[in-house]
Amino acid sequence: MANTIEVKVPDIGGYDDVPVIELLVAVGDTVAKDQGLVTLESDKATMEVPSPSAGVVRELKVKVGDAVSEGSVIAVLEAEGAAEATAASGKPATPAAAAVPSASAVPSAPATSAPTTSAPAPQAAAGTGRKADIECAMVVIGAGPGGYSAAFRAADLGLDTVLVERYATLGGVCLNVGCIPSKALLHAADVIEQAAHAGEYGVEFGAPKIALDKLRAYKDKVVGQLTKGLAGMAKQRKVRVVQGTAKFVSANELEIHPHDGEGDGRPQLLRFAQCIIAAGSQAVRLPIFPWDDERVIDSTGALELGDVPKSLLVVGGGIIGLEMATVYRALGSRVTVVEFMDQLMPGADADLVKPLADRLKKQGVAVHLKTKVVAAKAAKAGIECTFEGASVPDATTYDRVLVAVGRAPNGGKLDAQKAGVAVGERGFIAVDAQMRTNVPHIFAIGDLVGQPMLAHKATHEAHLAAEVAAGLKREWTARVIPSVAYTDPEIAWVGVTEAEARAKGLEVEVGRFPWAASGRAIGLGRTEGFTKLLFDARTHRIVGGGIVGVHAGELIAEIALAIEMGAEGADIAHTIHPHPTLSESVGMAAEAFEGTITDLYIPKKKA
């Protein structure tokens, strides 16, 4: 017999007629014990009404805007069998929203956006019964930003921790062949670009001479400094680092396979009490390209900086593709970008992308939207490509082709089914608000639990998983996750975008400040940028924001913090920003929204 429970509003400090500002679940959702069901807002704070039990939501008794008091029924929950159903399906509970001030228009950032599966979870293999070469309380698979952060935090909390990494150095894709080396090269590109335009204000430089070996050595030095630091911190924390490729053989055992030619070739057996999977992702390789030809590269190949090709085709106009286009154009390549969608960087608002698109055009970068490569073959003169779409490039042969069309999770490469862990068809691993997989003692974080595939997201998930594994009561509470493209100009955004607001029917208002009115931007000679803030039309609380311009990535954190803290437009406008700075643009965008700005003339709206 199903156990039906009426979920009622608990003691909320004596308040009556408190409005419901957000529904955190829908009818049919499977929820965990203590997961938030609705968010209430008094005049002092917001609060969530938690589920008293794991179960399935059968009925919601309230809607956004309703007023409730202690004892009001908000939902009907079917409690019997909920936990078993969750484990069987591999579908985790929907992550609870953060119990911080928030507007109804602000979506909570999910602990995962990985696809879930309705297929039964796999049956774990039996233990090997063999004597283990290594035993530990915690093993972390993968030493990227998520993995090493998880291992270090677990060790700090007293867990005997082993960190398994297939490469010779710690840091994963981000540090070794991703975020860090790309920023080192982008810095060089920025210096070249600044020198080229310094004559506009009376400072003359000669044409740059690119010493490719020195530039590559500089990039490697930056990476080496950080990887050496990680190795040192692992020793200080007594985290045992094991090099090799990990594969599950049972729910509590891994085999760690050495690289060819290393050791005696025999895999080591590692037995663990708990595990955090942080195996990351890899670049998608479209099969139409001849990958056996060294002239076809992914982002890793682009960062190796083997040469500066005369012509470079970038397939994919997302963040990675455009960052590499920025580097190679500055170094002297003739760059062509093809993007299947109707705008560059499809995840960002079109108005944020426009200044970048305009600048790329002025720099001679050919951009072709709504276009794709349908065939490619290796020829003596280069890689010959065939295009289809609305804007086909004139050139068909390129010295190098960079394929930057996204990344695929590595969840399917670990034999996780032998541990009973459910892995989706695309390689994603579903997790709950505590980063647990469907197997309670095995956690997963980072790229392989879903979008966005960002290092700073993985790091926060890492701390959470390690703390839960150590017995602390934690769950995912981040409301927003910022994104940054380190192009020229940079583009950064966080929270709700204008496009998302329109698609979801959210009532938002925008405050915008053009950098053409910024003294700092004028002094830098970079006035193409702007800052915009999105506010809930009813509460005036900030729900999103975007910045395009130099150093946008350094500025976006203020907007993220404002959203997390539930700031209203007046809070931001009344925060004194230093003058003259680019950060002023955030405060002035809020003033523009509030109608108090004096640095712009904005005619008052007619009533």
Catalytic sites, residue numbers? 579
277 forms beta bridges with 141, 444
Residue 509: phi and psi, rounded to 5, are: -125, 155
Q: CA–CA separation, 316 vs 332, rounded Å?
A: 20
Residue spans of alpha helices (H) in 58-116: 82-89
Closest CA to 474 of 150, 160, 38: 150
Alpha carbons within 13 angstroms on the beta-carbon side of residue 274 total: 24
Question: Cα torsion for 52, 54, 56, 61, to the nearest 10°?
Answer: 10
CB within 8 Å of 438: residues ≥ 6 apart? 86, 87, 90, 92, 121, 420, 421, 422, 430
Residue 339 backbone phi and psi in degrees, to 5: -130, 130
Give helix then strand counts, H and E, for the chain. 14, 30
In whole angstroms, what is the distance from residue 351 CA to residue 62 CA? Answer: 38
Q: What are phi and psi of 403, to 5 degrees?
A: -100, 115
Round to the nearest angstrom and report the end-to-end CA distance of the chain.
60
Residue 51 to residue 88: CA distance in whole angstroms: 21
189, two tokens: 């590109």
- Read off φ and ψ for residue 86, nearest 5 degrees: -65, -45
Burial 224-257 (b: 16+ CB within 10 A, else e): eebbeebbeebeeeebbbbbbbbbbbbbbbbbbb
Rounded to whole angstroms, the Cα distance separating 584 from 586 reads 5
CA distance 525 to 487: 17
Q: Which amino acid is at 214?
A: K
